[in-house]
């Protein structure tokens, strides 16, 4: 009698968890891809941990706080490693609806991943899309900052060059206009006094004819 | 008292200015493509022959004219013959077109450069879609680097008819690019000469760093072997020779007037023959060097994609048949495939159509040139390297230097005739003329920052300079040899530099180079006419790839205008001068 009951229970349980059963999800792990040499072997203890994590996720859903590890059923474990799982209700006759399981897993995906040292790509729940992490969005895009720095440097350098060019040109103009002024003054003097004033001979803009300088004058330091 | 003409600080500045002008983006993104298309190592044969027969003589011609006439292109050609001032005007017009569209490449370079200071690089990951369950659709269909280029940088529209609005990000970068150009050309050859040291030398430093990095990449040897294996049958392909001639011609930047402008600031006794040989050899050597670097990067990228493809196949098979993780590797893939096909034939036939055929050859075969190579292929390779931010920054810094160096030569070609002309330079100081030029070019260049801007860029790139330059250089060669007189020019050169003109140059200038240019010109004309409607590549966002479309009527009109406006200058100015002379002769009082 007892073994008949036991048989019935296992049959029912087996029927609840089957590939492509209602409310069943396939899980695929790629442990060697993720961890390489540090890969661990997938055995029944790891399966127990997995069931514990799923039960933990379900307990966080309102109205499902009484989910136990025994309510999570695993089946069809392959070498890949892949398997199917379902979560049953406390009566162990029906499986919990897929969308509840899906939302529970999605909420706790990160913790499940971390327990197994895997990530969204190496621990796949088929038919449960993962929420991708958005890229870091700084308030000011970085490129604008660098653009601003370089633009300011270029503007400053350009302004400096233009200003120095203007200053150089003004100095040249002033130099040539000084020569013009003094020459004008000289002409005026000549028209008034009809003689050349001595101090006007020593101006900078004038030309001194070296031929008429004596040896002493040439060697006298100024 | 006449103001002395500005001069280079020392002859080395002149050489560096010429090198930084000639060594530009074409060396990096066009020559490797040509090498790949036309037979790898064997392309070097037509290339070097064309260098000796066409490149060096024409380069020497331009430098000699500039050094002898000591004026910009307009004044120089007017001195050669009053009727040929139009050649100079045509050069200035072509340089103007080039200046308008070339700086947008620098703007894109700046954009990528600024975006390289992030982790992760923005073109290495796709952005997420609306509800964060997957990636953006366009990005999935194309690749993340293509998405970043077509969507984030250009925000390209599906066709040239839909212009869209000006995109502010590339517009800002364009303003920066023009401000930088203004900074460098502000004071004429004083500043240009010093900037030329940097723009000529630093790219070589970066190329050497990249060479070392490239050669140590996994799979680089695949690319190098593929490229340098000569396919000798391509030597019989006339297109290989034509493309070699074209590449030499445009790579040296002949016909724009920049070389004449640079040489006009030389001492009359400068040995420009030596400089010709140095500049042309360095230009070609740089092309070959850059293609070695490019092909090691190609090899890395192709190997990476091939291994990625293999991994996808392995994953697909592992998942479909629930094999043990890590059991399938690249080495036993074929065996296992055979085993699976025989053991589970029905399931295998389901999976089989989904299995991609991974081939290293086909990855290496994807030949890309132009902006596609620089901004899509290279960035794809860089994102897979370690410390990718550093490599990205270095790479775009090099691109910017190369682009800036060419822009300097370009703007010198436009500015030198302007500052030479008494009319303009008496009213405005040098700084104001340069500033006005940069402002006007920047304003027109904003056209290329619109959503359809990249299509207009392609129009300018393909048609603004090609035919016109061939015609200009042909007229230049004929003018010097037959209008001015080869013997007279040779004697003047000898008097100026103290060295007799070698017979080789005389033969080349008088016969061989003009003949070559005429044949190139005829070939291109025939090509344009025979190909019927002009077509372009448009980006289709829904499919995530390029599609071919026809140019609308108004675009074809613009193309025609571009070519006509520069080539027509030559006959129009000649006609104008003739008419003016007749009028003057007619109005002058006859002496009794």
Secondary structure (DSSP) of A56-76? HHHHTSTT-TT--GGGEEEE-
In a domain, B327, yes or no: no
pLDDT of residue B2: 43
Residue A90 carries which DSSP code? T
Assigned domain for B590 exists: no
- Rounded to whole angstroms, the maximal C-alpha distance in chain A is 151
Rg (CA), chain B: 27
Is B576 part of the contact surface with chain A (CB cutoff 8 Å)? no
Q: What is the CATH number of the domain that holds B202?
A: 1.10.4160
Is residue B68 one of the residues assigned to a domain? yes
Å between A162 CA and nearest CA of chain B: 7
Rounded to an integer, what distance in angstroms lies between the CA atom of residue B473 and that of residue B254?
7
Domains contained in chain B, number: 1
Of the candidate ranges A210-219, B101-110, B377-386, the one whose mean pLDDT is the lowest:
A210-219
Residue B187 burial (10 A CB sphere; 0-12, 13-18, 19+): buried
Assigned domain for B319 exists: no
Question: Closest partner residue to B183 among A39, A143, A161, by Cβ?
Answer: A161
pLDDT band at A195 (very low <50, low <70, confident <90, very high): low
- Compute the C-alpha angle A84/A89/A94, nearest 5°: 70
Q: Which of B110, B303, B299 is nearest to B213 (CA)?
A: B299
Token readout for B406 is: 């060419």
B431 touches chain A (CB under 8 A): yes
Q: Report the alpha-carbon distance of residue B172 to residue A150 in Å, rounded.
A: 12
Q: A158, A168, A173: which to substitute to probe chain B, counting the most B Cβ within 10 Å?
A: A158
More confident call, A183 vs B565 = B565
Model confidence at A156: pLDDT above 90: yes
Strands A82-87 and B535-540: unpaired
Q: What percentage of chain A reaches a pLDDT higher than 90?
A: 10
The structure tokens listed for B429 are 């100081």
Which residue, chain included where needed, has tokens 């003589």?
B57
Rounded distance, CA B529 to CA B534, Å? 9
Which residue in the block uniquely carries the two structure tokens 């800002």?
B172
Label residue B236 by pLDDT band (50, 70, 90): confident
The residue that leads in pLDDT, B541 or A192, is B541
Average pLDDT (B487-505) is: 89
Q: What are the phi and psi torsion angles at B41 (to 5°)?
A: -60, -30
d(CA B390, CA B118): 10
| CB nearest to A131's CB, from B133, B187, B323 | B133
pLDDT tens per residue across span B382-394: 988 889 999 999 9
Q: Do B322 and A79 touch (CB under 8 A)?
A: yes
User: Average pLDDT of B401-419?
Assistant: 88
Lowest mean per-residue pLDDT among A204-213, B313-322, B431-440, B495-504? A204-213
Question: In angstroms, rounded to a whole number, what is the distance separating the alpha carbons of residues B591 and B584?
Answer: 14
Confidence class for position A197, pLDDT limits 50, 70, 90: low
CB < 8 Å to A38, chain B:
none
> Is the pLDDT assigned to residue B209 strictly greater than 90?
yes
Q: What is the mean pLDDT of chain B?
A: 88
Q: Is pLDDT at A9 greater than 80 in this prediction?
A: no
Determine the Cα–Cα distance for residues B322 and B312; give it in Å rounded to an integer: 15
Residue of B nearest to A124 (CA): B319
Nearest residue to B365 via CA among B539, B538, B227: B227
Of the pLDDT bands very low, low, confident and very high (cuts 50, 70, 90), residue A198 is low
Whether residue A15 is predicted with pLDDT greater than 80 in this model: the reply is no
For range B48-75, the mean pLDDT: 91
Contact B91, B472 (CB under 8 A): yes
**What pLDDT band is residue A222 in, cutting at 50, 70 and 90?**
low
Q: By C-alpha distance, which of B572, B569, B563 is closest to B97?
A: B563
Kindly give, in sequence order, each residue whose CB lies less than 8 Å from that of residue A89, ignoring residues fewer than 6 positions away: A71, A95, A96
- Which is more confident, B542 or A129? B542
Determine, for residues A151 and B135 on separate chains, whether the beta-carbon distance falls below 8 Å. no
- Residue A218: pLDDT band with limits 50, 70, 90: low
| Optimal mutation site among A29, A37, A80, interface B, most CBs of chain B within 10 A | A80
In a domain, B344, yes or no: no
B589 falls within a domain = no
pLDDT digits (tens, 9 = 90+) for B237-251: 888 888 899 899 889
* Comparison of pLDDT for A36 and B472, the residue scoring more: B472
Residue predicted with more confidence, A66 or B110: B110
Residue B355 lies in a domain: no
Measured CA to CA in angstroms, residue A168 lies from A154, A175, B320, B330, B522 at distances of 21, 11, 79, 72, 53
Q: Does ipTM exceed 0.85?
A: no
Structure tokens at B287: 């092309």
The secondary structure of B219-240 as a DSSP string is THHHHHHHHHS--GGGGG-HHH
Axis crossing angle, helix B11-22 with helix B272-321, rounded to the nearest 10 = 30
Out of B103-112, B273-282, B559-568, pick the least confident: B559-568
B133 at the A interface (CB within 8 A)?
yes
CB B451 within 8 A of CB B66: no
Contact B183 A143 (CB under 8 A): no
Alpha carbon distance A120, A129 (integer Å): 9
Q: A125 has which bridge partners?
A: A27
pLDDT of residue B125: 87
The torsion defined by the Cα of B505, B510, B516 and B518, in degrees rounded to 10, comes to 150
How far apart, in whole angstroms, are the C-alpha atoms of residue B277 and residue A92? 90
Q: Give the other-Cβ count within 10 Å of A69's Cβ.
A: 14
Give, in order, the Cα–Cα distances in Å from B310 to each of A29, B33, B315, B526.
20, 27, 9, 45
Sequence ranges of the domains in chain A: 12-125, 142-204
Residue B485 structure tokens: 């007189």
Q: Mutation target for A interface from B113, B173, B325, B432: give the one with most A CBs within 10 A.
A: B325
Tokens of B17: 């200015």
| B279 contact partners, CB below 8 Å, separation of at least 6 | B15, B18, B19, B22, B59, B252
pLDDT the model gives residue B106:
94
Q: Which residues of B are annotated as a binding site for Na(+)?
A: 22-23, 27, 251, 283, 402, 406
- Tell me the chain B residues in contact with residue A164 when contact means C-beta distances shorter than 8 Å: none
Q: Is residue B70 part of a domain?
A: yes
Q: Using CA atoms, how far apart are residues B174 and B166, in angstroms rounded to an integer?
A: 12
Using DSSP, state whether A92 is helix, strand or coil: coil
Contact A155 B319 (CB under 8 A): no
Strand B545-550 relative to strand B535-540: parallel, antiparallel, unpaired? antiparallel
Q: What is the mean pLDDT of residues B473-496?
A: 91
Mean pLDDT of chain A: 79
Q: Does B127 touch chain A (CB under 8 A)?
A: yes
pLDDT the model gives residue B1: 36
Write down the pLDDT at residue A219.
54
For residue A41, the 8-state DSSP code is P
Q: Over pLDDT 90: what percentage of chain B?
A: 31
Question: Distance (Å) from the C-alpha of residue A146 to the closest C-alpha of chain B?
Answer: 6
| CB-CB under 8 Å, A158 with B133 | no
Range of the domain at B67: 11-291+370-582
Smallest CA-to-CA distance from A170 within B190, B434, B1, B429 is with: B429
Within an 8 Å CB–CB cutoff, is residue B132 touching chain A?
A: yes
Q: Inter-axis angle of helices B272-321 and B56-69, to 10 degrees?
A: 130
| Residue B523's pLDDT band (cuts 50, 70, 90) | confident
Q: How far apart are CA B293 and CA B283, in angstroms?
A: 16
């Amino acid at each position: 009698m007892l073994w008949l009951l036991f048989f019935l229970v296992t049959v029912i349980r087996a029927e609840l968890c089957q590939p492509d059963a209602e409310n069943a999800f396939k899980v695929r792990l790629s442990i060697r891809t993720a961890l390489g040499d540090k890969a661990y072997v997938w055995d029944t203890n790891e399966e127990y941990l997995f069931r514990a994590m799923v039960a933990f996720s379900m307990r966080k859903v309102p109205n499902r706080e009484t989910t136990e590890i025994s309510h999570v059923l695993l089946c069809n474990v392959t070498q890949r490693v892949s398997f199917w799982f379902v979560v049953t209700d406390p009566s162990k006759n029906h499986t919990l609806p897929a969308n509840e399981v899906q939302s529970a897993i999605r909420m706790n995906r990160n913790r499940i991943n971390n327990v197994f040292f895997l990530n969204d790509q190496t621990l796949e729940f088929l038919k449960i899309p993962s929420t991708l992490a958005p890229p870091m969005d700084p308030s000011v895009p970085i490129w604008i900052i660098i653009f601003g720095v370089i633009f300011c440097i270029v503007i400053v350098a350009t302004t400096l060059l233009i200003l120095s060019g203007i200053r150089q040109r003004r100095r040249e103009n002033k130099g040539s206009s000084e020569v013009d002024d003094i020459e004008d003054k000289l002409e005026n003097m000549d028209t008034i006094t009809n003689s050349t004033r001595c101090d006007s001979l020593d101006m900078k803009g004038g030309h001194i004819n070296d031929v008429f300088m004596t040896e002493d004058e040439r060697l006298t330091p100024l | 008292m006449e103001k002395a003409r500005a001069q280079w600080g020392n002859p080395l500045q002149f050489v560096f200015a010429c090198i930084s002008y000639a060594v530009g983006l074409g060396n990096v993104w066009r020559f490797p493509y040509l090498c790949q298309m036309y037979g790898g190592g064997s392309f070097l044969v037509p290339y070097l022959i064309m260098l000796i027969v066409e490149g060096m003589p024409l380069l020497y011609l331009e430098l000699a004219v500039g050094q002898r006439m000591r004026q910009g292109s307009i004044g120089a050609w007017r001195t050669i013959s009053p009727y040929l001032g139009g050649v100079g005007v045509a050069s200035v017009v072509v340089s103007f077109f080039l200046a308008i569209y070339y700086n947008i490449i620098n703007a894109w370079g700046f954009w990528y450069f600024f975006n390289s200071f992030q982790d992760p690089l923005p073109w290495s990951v796709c952005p997420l879609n609306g509800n964060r369950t997957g990636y953006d659709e366009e990005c999935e269909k194309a690749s993340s680097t293509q998405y970043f280029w077509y969507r984030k940088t250009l925000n390209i529209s599906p066709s040239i008819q839909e212009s869209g609005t000006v995109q502010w990000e590339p517009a800002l970068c364009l303003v920066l690019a023009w401000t930088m150009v203004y900074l460098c050309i502000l004071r004429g050859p004083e500043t240009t000469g010093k900037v030329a040291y940097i723009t000529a030398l630093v790219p070589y430093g970066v190329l050497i760093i990249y060479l070392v990095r490239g050669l140590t990449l996994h799979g680089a040897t695949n690319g190098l072997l593929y490229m340098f294996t000569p396919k000798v049958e391509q030597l019989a392909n006339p297109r290989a020779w034509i493309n070699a001639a074209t590449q030499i011609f445009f790579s040296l930047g002949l016909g724009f007037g920049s070389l004449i402008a640079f040489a006009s600031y030389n001492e009359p006794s400068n040995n420009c023959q030596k400089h010709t040989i140095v500049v042309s050899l360095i230009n070609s050597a740089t092309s070959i060097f850059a293609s070695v670097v490019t092909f090691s990067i190609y090899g890395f990228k192709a190997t990476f994609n091939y291994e990625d493809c293999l991994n996808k196949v392995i994953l697909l098979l592992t998942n479909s048949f629930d094999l043990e993780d890590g059991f399938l590797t690249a080495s036993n893939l074929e065996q296992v495939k055979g085993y699976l096909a025989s053991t589970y034939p029905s399931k295998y036939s389901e999976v089989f159509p989904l299995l991609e055929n991974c081939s290293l050859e086909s990855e290496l075969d994807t030949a890309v040139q132009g902006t596609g190579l620089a901004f899509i292929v290279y960035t794809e390779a860089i994102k897979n390297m370690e410390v990718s931010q550093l490599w990205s920054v270095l790479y775009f810094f090099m691109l910017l230097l190369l682009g800036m160096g060419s822009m300097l030569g370009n703007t010198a070609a436009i500015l030198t005739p302007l500052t030479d002309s008494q009319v303009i330079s008496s009213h405005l100081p040098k700084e104001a003329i340069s500033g006005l030029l940069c402002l006007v070019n920047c304003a027109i260049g904003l056209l290329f920052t619109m959503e359809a801007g990249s299509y207009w860029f392609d129009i300018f790139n393909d048609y603004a300079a090609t035919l016109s330059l061939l015609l200009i250089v042909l007229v230049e060669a004929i003018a010097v040899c037959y209008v001015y007189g080869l013997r007279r020019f040779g004697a003047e050169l000898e008097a100026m530099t103290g060295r007799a003109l070698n017979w080789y140059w005389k033969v080349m200038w008088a016969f061989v180079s003009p003949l070559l240019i005429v044949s190139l010109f005829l070939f291109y004309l025939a090509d344009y006419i025979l190909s019927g409607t002009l077509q372009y590549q448009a980006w289709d966002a829904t499919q995530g790839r390029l599609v071919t479309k026809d140019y609308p009527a108004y675009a074809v009109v613009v193309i025609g205008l571009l070519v006509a406006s520069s080539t027509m200058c030559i006959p129009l100015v000649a006609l104008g001068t003739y008419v003016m002379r007749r009028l003057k002769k007619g109005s002058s009082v006859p002496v009794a």
